[in-house]
Amino acid sequence: MMGLHVYRHVFGRLGLILLLLQSGTAFAETVKVCVMRDGGPVWIEREVPAANLTTRAPLSPDQALAAKLKTILQAQFAGPTEEEAARGYRSISSKVVTLDNVEVADGACTISLSISPESFGEGFTDEELELYAELMAGLAVQLPEIRSMTFVGRLSDSEPYRPLTQLAKPAPKPAEKPEVKSETTATKDTTPKAGQPPAQGQPQPTGALTGASVFLSPGHGWYYNSSLGRWATQRSYTNGLIEDHSNGEAVLQYLVRYLWNAGARVYTVRERDMNTNMVIVDNTAATFTGTWTLETISSAYGGNHRYATTVTGSPTATATYTPNIPAAGYYAVYVWYRPSGAGTTTADARITVNHAGGSTVWTQDQTKDGYTWKYIGTYYFEAGSNPATGSVVISNLSSTAGNRVIADAVRFGGGMGDIADNVSGTTSGKPRWEESGRYYAAFMGKSDWASYNTVTAMPSYASWECESWESNRSIYVSWHTNAPNPGTGTETYAYASGGYDQPFDGVAGGLELRNYIHDELINDIRAGYDSGWVNRGKHTNWYGELNPSYNNKMPAALTEIAFHDTPADAAKLRDPEFRRICARAVYQGIVKFFNWYNPSAFPSATLLPEPPTNFRAVRSGPNSVTLSWNAPPYNTGNNLLGDAATGYRVYKSTNGKGFDNGTPVSGTSTVISGLTPGQIYYFRVTATNAGGESFPTETLAVSCYANGANPILIVNGFDRCDAAMNVSEADPYSTGILARQYLWRMNTYDYVIAHAQAIKAFGRDFDSCSNEAVRDGQINLSNYHTVIWLLGRESSADKTFDANERTAVQNYLNSGGRLLVSGSEVGYELDGLSVAPSFFNSVLRADYVQDSAGTYDVEGVTGSIFHGLSFSFDNGSSIYDVPSPDVISPLNGSTAVLRYANVNTVLLDALDSVSGWWDPNASGSTDPGVDPASSFTLASSPVRQGTGSGRLYYVWGTGQFIREYNANQPVFPANATVSMWVYGDNSSNQVRFCIRDSEGTGELFVSDYFTINFTGWQKLSWQIGVDPTTKWAGTGDGLVTGPNVKFDSIHLKKGASSPASGNLYFDEITYSTSGSSSVAAVAYDGGTNGPKLIYLAFPFEAITSPTARNSVMSAALTFFDTPLPVGLSEFLTE
């Protein structure tokens, strides 16, 4: 959040100077003050005369507290010193304020201020009041003696002091949606909707929150900062986090999905879909059958919609919306509608979503929730345009004939921000889900969005979205993180117009909502993560998001999960498991609140079950599979887990991504029949009870052999999803590296897909199971000719192979089994951490050399089973990052079969000096129209490594091309891969390498251009002679002859949308060549009846090329002599 940065996100335009005592004693000479720089608050040290911090007479506790506060607050409103101002710091107060008095009575603090009328304007803005609220919370963190606090102010000596909330700028009159009073006698379809796991979001489960409307605020986001003249986050970088991003990652990926599975209507006040692709299909682009009438009407998308007359029985009219999906993936689907201008609009519009897993029907009352984008679920779509597997169909089928069904527009995906800021006229260019809620309100159709700021836009949007029929069924919950350091723990707030811990005067129910959420958070964090977690208590404050002036329709609460400013708390915030536990706790608190708040509408407080465990999928016949699992654990007293499961749903898929709508099952095993032999089917299972539906198991796969047991077993042992799996991303406005929690690039729990497809490409059938099923003896490895055990990035704490699994694997190999193991941390854990070195050395027949190979490239060892293969595994751009694959060596009879490529890396230029690099205009190849102001200089920031980087300041003028020449001409091998790090400016300019051949007159060769469509550091690489290599200048044979080449220059070409000028930074120019000693995989051949083993020290599923994966699997199964279970004619390849 919230708090002052160290209450970093507390400050917007206002500014308040908070003085923090640096030492642990009550008084100290060195303090920290908060000032503004680069649009955000920062903390700097300042010396305060010792006399200001001492007193000559003994003081009572209240007097001592008043003295401390007075000293702090005097400095708080003093502003930057002359020296600080010269360094770019400025005051963060927009009002000229004089501190009149500090009164303390039994820990209750009243701070009296005089405000200059000239600076007062129309009054305190909501953003300013928000900062005062954060200031009070921050003072309470630093001075725990404070029991409550308020600021009061006046404009002249003749006026009484009043709370600052009474000196606020008047709130704008909010816009309201039109309310439709339905005249129809139709009854809405109340058939329970079959729900899918949150990742799929298919027809919503019925649960304890069915009928509830939950408005969720993930806090801050990108907004246009007029002071900076650019878009900025509201909270800045600290400890690998930006609160604006981390709140959204937690709320959208965990909390929203828990609530959805409990049956709630979930409204997010920022975009909920993290997919940056978006396609909108309006009714003008839809395909219609039957009779539809065009109606031009206000608040329809694009100014018009179509309607058809409803019928019973079978539909006679359809509207089909078929998008051209830009990339396969999960897309949130929304429909836009408003009631017709005449007649009666239907209360049960039938909307069918055709997706990769089948078809899902959504029934929508079109007299409610209109005039905006109505969310109807998230589904997996393949790329391209295909009505059968990628469309939305609205029909005129209804339970009541003669009404009107509306077909207007359909949206797929969240998209990028495209709402122009009302002040600057610019758009953010950021993912929409990362933007401030004020722009989302505009996108969703709220006409008066520009009247609200980054604080009040979100509650006012919730008020606009909430309709009268949702009365006593709606709540508003805001999720934030806190500051300053060294604060720690969780605190939760309700509203008080008087200030910090003043009497509650928000919407009735707000105190209880706060209490249920907070108590659940403290209990669950202590029970499930950190038993010593600090309970910072339940409080009140005048936070704008809770202010009934902007949302008086529902109870509201705001929680500060932890302190992003404090390193220990931030480490927890970076952990996905901590976020998940917190999200589950908030959801559980909401269930208990509604059961108290409106028990007639919400009679059940049953909590969602946990996911089933020990999942396994085993062929039971040529056309059937037996799916089995264990009942999930449940709450047995400490109130951490959900309630017991009473049933299950089994989901089936033919591609592993898009699933059907599920089949209910009563027990922990079921047989799925009607399968086609030799075809891959994917499954996952959820648990159900009266509370709703759990998250799913991992995805498993099976392909049934027509004439007997399957010869192959896939074991999924990759369960890890922790902070080390976070995606690293450069903060564009600092040198910090952010830990982004993009779960789809960390662990999707469906990597069986890559293995299944590769096995099937070789023409073999298989079963699959979780590693826990092997551990617990539910699957016998000896039933299979070949076992493929995937471990991904599973790592330490005995997680790659536990004792039971090691015994099972050793027994299997001792009996002549065939085993393929892949994983990047197996050697690191078992041998490097001495968890089970004997197993690693004797059973897996490898020795651990080092933790990281320093490359993503692999090639086959000459003469080995992988001879001739060359491929890469993922660096995080498409599957998940594998930053530290183990380097191993063969042992106990094994041989090296794969080695890492491009591992011998040599630094060509650290760019800690730019000596030898010419001015851009000094090269005769630079366009003469390039402005002479262009330069190449040494920069101290940003820096990738070392102490400096090369700053290319380009000023295009009328030119189009710059050659940045390097007179040093460092030499390196002609068969190398050359790399450099570029700090991009998202300018669309293009950059390329240029080398000089050493033979003859020195021909110049260039790589293809790389487009600078990114911000922050990115590594660019060119494998000379393998990647496109083009002669640019010079005479000779037109070939890179070598044996050495020279790094000649960097070329920059103006992009189509390039700014007139800008900066690019270059650092760490290196080259790399293959090394023969860095082993990536070993194989062991025990002979005809002996064991056979292949161990890949990187994850198989992370191989980026499907063709390469198929080749690796083909070579492995050939080496294993894995039997062919069906006729060759069934397969295209063998």
| Structural Rg of the chain based on CA atoms | 32
Topology of the domain comprising 241-274+451-597: Aminopeptidase (3.40.630)
Please, are residues 695 and 715 in contact by the beta-carbon 8 Å criterion?
Answer: no
591's tokens: 């269930």
Q: State which of 44-48, 94-98, 322-326 shows the largest mean pLDDT.
A: 322-326
Q: How confident is the model at residue 131, as a pLDDT?
A: 78
Q: How confident is the model at residue 192, as a pLDDT?
A: 28
Please, are residues 702 and 617 in contact by the beta-carbon 8 Å criterion?
Answer: yes
User: Cα(483)–Cα(40) distance, rounded to whole angstroms?
Assistant: 14
Please, are residues 764 and 1124 in contact by the beta-carbon 8 Å criterion?
Answer: yes
435's tokens: 């933007």
Q: How confident is the model at residue 87, as a pLDDT?
A: 72
Asked if pLDDT for residue 1111 goes beyond 50, the answer is: yes
Asked if pLDDT for residue 53 goes beyond 70, the answer is: no
Bigger pLDDT: 1001 vs 450? 450
The neighbouring-strand residues paired with 479 are: 559
User: Cα(544)–Cα(550) distance, rounded to whole angstroms?
Assistant: 8
Label residue 17 exposed, middle or buried (CB < 10 Å: 0-12, 13-18, 19+). buried
To which CATH superfamily is domain 706-903+1078-1120 assigned? Class I glutamine amidotransferase (GATase) domain (3.40.50.880)
Asked if pLDDT for residue 54 goes beyond 80, the answer is: no
User: Cα(132)–Cα(97) distance, rounded to whole angstroms?
Assistant: 13
Asked if pLDDT for residue 41 goes beyond 80, the answer is: no
Please, are residues 350 and 363 in contact by the beta-carbon 8 Å criterion?
Answer: yes
At 1076, the pLDDT band (50, 70, 90 cuts) reads low
Q: Can you tell me which residue has the tokens 């959900």?
A: 642
Label residue 44 exposed, middle or buried (CB < 10 Å: 0-12, 13-18, 19+). middle
Q: Where do the domains of the chain lie?
A: 8-167, 241-274+451-597, 279-412, 706-903+1078-1120, 906-1073
CA distances from 318 to 291, 388, 410, 530 (A): 9, 14, 14, 55
Q: pLDDT by residue (tens digit) across 518-550?
A: 999 999 999 999 999 999 999 999 999 999 999
Q: How confident is the model at residue 199, as a pLDDT?
A: 54
User: Cα(647)–Cα(140) distance, rounded to whole angstroms?
Assistant: 48
Nearest one of 988, 964, 991, 987 to 979, comparing CA atoms: 991
SS3 state at 69: helix
User: Cα(106)–Cα(145) distance, rounded to whole angstroms?
Assistant: 9
Q: pLDDT by residue (tens digit) across 958-981?
A: 999 999 999 999 989 888 889 899
614's tokens: 């020990």
Please, are residues 164 and 133 in contact by the beta-carbon 8 Å criterion?
Answer: no
Q: pLDDT by residue (tens digit) across 718-730?
A: 999 999 999 999 8
Detail the DSSP E strand segments found in 974-1078. 977-985, 990-997, 1004-1006, 1010-1011, 1015-1023, 1030-1033, 1044-1053, 1061-1073
Percent of the chain with pLDDT over 70: 91
At 48, the pLDDT band (50, 70, 90 cuts) reads low
Asked if pLDDT for residue 27 goes beyond 70, the answer is: no
For 175-184, 355-364, 446-455, 1114-1123, which range has the lowest pLDDT when averaged over its residues? 175-184
Bigger pLDDT: 161 vs 355? 355
DSSP element (H, E) containing 460 = helix 457-465
Residue type present at position 461: Y
**DSSP code at position 254:** I
Tell me the average pLDDT across 106-130. Answer: 87
Task: Count each helix (H run) and each strand (E run) in the chain, helices first.
Answer: 17, 61
Asked if pLDDT for residue 402 goes beyond 50, the answer is: yes
796's tokens: 């330490």
Tell me the average pLDDT across 22-42. Answer: 55
Asked if pLDDT for residue 1126 goes beyond 80, the answer is: no
Tell me the average pLDDT across 807-815. Answer: 98
551's tokens: 């949302």
Domains 241-274+451-597 and 906-1073 share a fold: no
Q: How confident is the model at residue 410, as a pLDDT?
A: 98
Nearest one of 905, 926, 1029 to 972, comparing CA atoms: 905
1004's tokens: 């110049």
pTM over 0.85: no
In total, the chain counts a number of residues equal to 1134
Instruction: List all residues 6 or more positions away from 818 whose beta carbon is below 8 Å from its beta carbon.
Output: 785, 786, 787, 1091, 1092, 1093, 1120, 1121, 1122
CA distances from 1035 to 967, 995, 1005, 1032 (A): 20, 14, 11, 10
Q: How confident is the model at residue 88, as a pLDDT?
A: 66
3-state secondary structure 527-567: HHCCCCCCEEEEEEECCHHHCCCCCCCCCEEEEEEEECCCH
For the stretch 789-815, what's the b/e string if a residue is b when 16 or more beta carbons lie within 10 angstroms of its beta carbon? bbbbbbbeeebbbbeebbebbbebbee
User: Cα(993)–Cα(1024) distance, rounded to whole angstroms?
Assistant: 10
Please, are residues 619 and 683 in contact by the beta-carbon 8 Å criterion?
Answer: no
At 128, the pLDDT band (50, 70, 90 cuts) reads confident
Cis amide leading into 326 (omega within 30): no
Percent of the chain with pLDDT over 90: 72
Tell me the angle at which helices 576-597 and 510-528 cross, rounded to the nearest 10 degrees.
Answer: 140
Q: How confident is the model at residue 798, as a pLDDT?
A: 62
Instruction: Provide the H-helix boundaries in 901-1024.
Output: none
Tell me the average pLDDT across 890-907. Answer: 89
User: Cα(576)–Cα(560) distance, rounded to whole angstroms?
Assistant: 17
Q: How confident is the model at residue 30, as a pLDDT?
A: 63
Instruction: Provide the H-helix boundaries in 466-537.
Output: 510-528
At 1125, the pLDDT band (50, 70, 90 cuts) reads low
**DSSP code at position 676:** P
Cis amide leading into 484 (omega within 30): yes
Tell me the angle at which helices 752-761 and 1106-1120 cross, rounded to the nearest 10 degrees.
Answer: 60
For 906-1073, the fitting CATH number among 1.20.150.20, 2.60.120.260, 3.40.1350.10, 2.60.40.10 is: 2.60.120.260
Instruction: List all residues 6 or more positions away from 950 whose beta carbon is below 8 Å from its beta carbon.
Output: 911, 914, 917, 936, 937, 938, 939, 1065, 1066, 1067
**DSSP code at position 251:** I
For 279-412, the fitting CATH number among 2.60.120.260, 3.40.440.10, 3.30.70.1140, 3.40.1160.10 is: 2.60.120.260
CB atoms within 10 A of CB 242: 26
Label residue 599 exposed, middle or buried (CB < 10 Å: 0-12, 13-18, 19+). exposed
For 105-114, 340-349, 557-566, which range has the lowest pLDDT when averaged over its residues? 105-114
Q: How confident is the model at residue 97, as a pLDDT?
A: 87
For 71-85, 232-246, 317-331, which range has the lowest pLDDT when averaged over its residues? 71-85
Tell me the average pLDDT across 1003-1012. Answer: 94
Q: How confident is the model at residue 1133, as a pLDDT?
A: 33
Asked if pLDDT for residue 22 goes beyond 50, the answer is: no
Please, are residues 496 and 506 in contact by the beta-carbon 8 Å criterion?
Answer: yes
Average pLDDT, the chain: 89
Q: How confident is the model at residue 1127, as a pLDDT?
A: 41
**DSSP code at position 272:** -
Residue type present at position 205: P
Asked if pLDDT for residue 118 goes beyond 90, the answer is: no
Q: How confident is the model at residue 21, as a pLDDT?
A: 36
Q: How confident is the model at residue 92, as a pLDDT?
A: 65
Q: How confident is the model at residue 202, as a pLDDT?
A: 64
Nearest one of 771, 616, 788, 758 to 701, comparing CA atoms: 616
Please, are residues 1052 and 982 in contact by the beta-carbon 8 Å criterion?
Answer: no
Nearest one of 986, 1118, 1007 to 1063, comparing CA atoms: 986
Asked if pLDDT for residue 1056 goes beyond 70, the answer is: yes
Q: Is the CA virtual torsion 758, 760, 762, 767 positive or negative? A: positive
Instruction: Determine if residue 326 is left, alpha or beta; phi over 0 gives left, psi from -120 to 50 gives alpha, anything else beta.
Output: alpha
Tell me the angle at which helices 243-250 and 576-597 cross, rounded to the nearest 10 degrees.
Answer: 60
For 427-436, 602-611, 834-843, 1010-1019, which range has the lowest pLDDT when averaged over its residues? 1010-1019
For the stretch 253-263, what's the b/e string if a residue is b when 16 or more beta carbons lie within 10 angstroms of its beta carbon? bbbbbbbbbbb
Asked if pLDDT for residue 23 goes beyond 70, the answer is: no
Cis amide leading into 315 (omega within 30): no
Residue type present at position 396: N
Asked if pLDDT for residue 288 goes beyond 50, the answer is: yes
192's tokens: 């329970």
Residue type present at position 543: Y
Please, are residues 856 and 1078 in contact by the beta-carbon 8 Å criterion?
Answer: no
